[in-house]
Structure 1
């Protein structure tokens, strides 16, 4: 009777529930075999868990679940990395293969739909929203819409000032978030018309990402000339408003010792490599 009472306390400790052991053995019997032995009084108190509480690998104590992007045990045992938290599941990150990496099991939110909070912040998914709720304990925070909050464009990554040598290639990058999605255009100095115009050595490529409702736009100047020097503007706009970021290009004379980022790579392939590398780095930083 005492053993059953102890087990019952373990399953409901700290206001949550751990499931009965799947083998049907009592904790004392397993303890005799050198495995799990449940003593609820010795369970550490888990606090400030951004992904909520989960049962440990023994099914006895409650502990913090792993948050989105953290490593996890693919078999669900939780014996090495631990178990994923609320609304999360363990999956292999197969995108790593495309970037030459080794896929690892990570916690992924079961729903990837963005939500709008009562604080007028767009959360990437329900898991990110729940993290915010737990971090702001005591403050009233709710979901107002199962879609992103309406927002004017926000430039998340600004183009950077550059100094380059005449004849080399230049790439400016601008990353924008907005809902509804924004349109992005590039202009130079006080010119009335947007780039590239009819200039064959200037090109623009845009693509979605690295996150949903974001747009990354790259301006490339092949074989930069003295006349290309000046201030370049990234202008994003939707029906709610617009945002602008700028960067200055200084073109120096030939002979200055500056290295290109991808020596020996053709210009068109170079732009693709820059896009792929920068989007991958930013995606890794945000997980």
Structure 2
């Protein structure tokens, strides 16, 4: 009867000994620092400093492409539609897909990996826009030729790539060298301004035309043209091709400068004009601007009542802010009353 307890004690003791031996073997088999190194080697830093990231990326992409690409069966390829820049091969070199348009992000070189390849008459170049807050420039599709073309639809295409895009939807579209003759268009007209005496005021007028337009300024409909060599009048080309930007600046404005100013753009095809009203208020008194027979909008919404604006030396900024949000639906003269 006492034999069974003795056997159970011996079996338990043997089991514990086996567990201790196995744990000791496991501990001895693990070498220190295999999983988490506690030191660094100089040669590792040197390897990282000379590592070619782009080459490594190419090799990685090539490996992925080899693994992902299956046997090419052209009959199973999807039909690409709406490809305005032509067709290119996909990353596996099997199916056709739409090429990237001008200005779209692209893959450098001839490898179609992520962004895609550029279309006909385009090449992929690194591009950094002015003032862009980016560490590295991005690659974009750029047209090989920047010569303007005149379309049979009367539109000027800045390069052959823009023409090809338009021709996709209009197969009968033809072009000739050079831009189309264009009547002057005022793209950015001067805006109505109100300020106090002694301030600086500037009107801007942006014009598009071909041949290039000449811009002149007139005041109150008088025939006297403001002199082109006046230091307060400046013009320069841009911001786009065949555009001209002209500024009229008035320094230390007085009440005699109040009135209607006209920007006139002309070339051999004709002329066009746009007007703006300038109101100059004396800083020592509070004057009200009575806007009679005028329909006004503020941020796109019509106002039921005519707005009244007042200015003094203390609220000059407030007055300018209020007037900058008002838009006249039709022009009229500004009248003053105390």
TM-score when normalising by structure 2? 0.59
Give the one of 119, 133, 142 matched to 1:85: 119
**CA 1:258–1:117 in 2, change beyond 3 Å: closer, same or farther?**
same
1:22-47 per-position Cα deviation (integer Å, ceiling 9, x unaligned): xxxxxxxx899414233434433222
Query: Counterparts of 1:195 and 1:205 in 2: how far apart (Å)?
Result: 11
Query: Counterparts of 1:116 and 1:228 in 2: how far apart (Å)?
Result: 43
1:247-280 per-position Cα deviation (integer Å, ceiling 9, x unaligned): 222334333242799xxxxxxxxxxxxxxxxxxx
Higher RCO (CA 8 Å, separation ≥ 6 residues): 1
Query: Counterparts of 2:147 and 2:73 in 1: how far apart (Å)?
Result: 40
Query: Counterparts of 1:229 and 1:235 in 2: how far apart (Å)?
Result: 19
Query: Counterparts of 2:64 and 2:165 in 1: how far apart (Å)?
Result: 35
Query: Counterparts of 2:114 and 2:199 in 1: how far apart (Å)?
Result: 50
Give the one of 104, 107, 110 matched to 2:141: 107
Query: Counterparts of 2:192 and 2:232 in 1: how far apart (Å)?
Result: 18
Give the one of 175, 185, 198 matched to 1:167: 198
SS at match of 2:232: strand
- Asked if the contact 1:121/1:149 (under 8 Å) is kept, the reply is yes
How many Å apart are 1:179 and its aligned residue?
1.5
SS at match of 2:216: strand
- Asked if the contact 1:168/1:260 (under 8 Å) is kept, the reply is no
Q: Is 1:125 the equivalent of 2:156?
A: no
Give the one of 209, 218, 240 matched to 2:247: 218
SS at match of 1:218: strand
SS at match of 1:34: helix
- What corresponds to 2:32 in structure 1? none
Query: Counterparts of 1:210 and 1:179 in 2: how far apart (Å)?
Result: 15
**CA 1:45–1:196 in 2, change beyond 3 Å: closer, same or farther?**
same
Q: Which has the larger radius of gyration?
A: 2
- What corresponds to 2:308 in structure 1? none
SS at match of 1:234: strand
For the aligned residues, what is the CA RMSD? 2.8
Query: Counterparts of 2:228 and 2:151 in 1: how far apart (Å)?
Result: 41
Q: Is 1:204 the equivalent of 2:219?
A: no
- What corresponds to 2:105 in structure 1? 71
Query: Counterparts of 1:260 and 1:70 in 2: how far apart (Å)?
Result: 44
**CA 1:193–1:85 in 2, change beyond 3 Å: closer, same or farther?**
same
- Asked if the contact 2:105/2:139 (under 8 Å) is kept, the reply is yes
1:91-150 per-position Cα deviation (integer Å, ceiling 9, x unaligned): 2225x35x355432221111100000111111111111111111335xx2111x200111
Segments of 5+ residues of structure 1 without an aligned counterpart are: 1-29, 262-287
Query: Counterparts of 1:45 and 1:230 in 2: how far apart (Å)?
Result: 63
Q: Is 1:49 the equivalent of 2:80?
A: no
- What corresponds to 1:248 in structure 2? 277
Query: Counterparts of 2:179 and 2:65 in 1: how far apart (Å)?
Result: 54
1:159-183 per-position Cα deviation (integer Å, ceiling 9, x unaligned): 2223334333322222212111111
- Asked if the contact 1:163/1:250 (under 8 Å) is kept, the reply is yes
Query: Counterparts of 1:250 and 1:217 in 2: how far apart (Å)?
Result: 20
- What corresponds to 2:173 in structure 1? 141
Alignment of 1:5-44 (within 5 A): 33-37=66-70, 38-44=72-78
- Asked if the contact 1:196/1:203 (under 8 Å) is kept, the reply is no
- Paired positions, count: 225
